[in-house]
Amino acid sequence: MIDRYIKDANFEDTGFSYTLSLISGKHKMVILYCLMEFEKVRFNELKRYLKNISDKTLSVNLKELEADRLIIRTEYPQIPPKVEYSLSERGKSLMAVLDQLCIWGENNRI
């Protein structure tokens, strides 16, 4: 399957490259996994789950995931402000791929 991509197109034009562009980076897959596990998560909960991440880095990652339509940001009009993040349908469809990565890692851990 990969051979077909290499012969027929530039790597940047492949579905594989596109998928990697959506989930690349140190934290995006962990954020998506957290949202899969806990469904709706607030900013500070994500920060506690990710441990060593700055507010700015988490915020940038969340904005990128939202722009890529993988997550949904729900803002509640209350004081203090309340914002929750959850997977979009598009994000949920990516979970099968991430789940396979987890399975491969468990089966091939050295």
- Domain assignment present for residue 7? The answer is no
- Domain assignment present for residue 60? The answer is yes
Alpha-carbon distance of 26 to 54, in angstroms, equals 12
Alpha-carbon distance of 78 to 93, in angstroms, equals 32
Please say if the pLDDT value at position 2 is more than 60: no
- Domain assignment present for residue 49? The answer is yes
pLDDT of residue 16: 78
- Across residues 11-32, what is the average pLDDT? 83
- Domain assignment present for residue 20? The answer is no
- Domain assignment present for residue 2? The answer is no
Cis bond upstream, residue 77 (ω within 30): no
What digits encode the pLDDT tens for the residues 65-95?
999 999 999 999 888 888 999 999 999 998 8
Strand ordering across the sheet containing 82-87: 41-42, 82-87, 71-76
Backbone angles phi, psi at 66, to 5 degrees: -70, -40
More confident residue, 79 or 4: 79
- Domain assignment present for residue 84? The answer is yes
pLDDT of residue 52: 86
For 40, the domain range is 26-107
Confidence bin at 4 (pLDDT 50/70/90):
low
Residues 6+ apart with CB under 8 A from 59: 43
- Across residues 37-44, what is the average pLDDT? 90
Element spanning 67, H or E: helix 55-67
Q: How many domains does the chain have?
A: 1
- Domain assignment present for residue 17? The answer is no
Alpha-carbon distance of 59 to 66, in angstroms, equals 10
- Domain assignment present for residue 5? The answer is no
What CATH number corresponds to the domain at position 79? 1.10.10.10
Alpha-carbon distance of 84 to 35, in angstroms, equals 10
pLDDT of residue 86: 96
Please say if the pLDDT value at position 20 is more than 90: no
Global pTM? 0.80
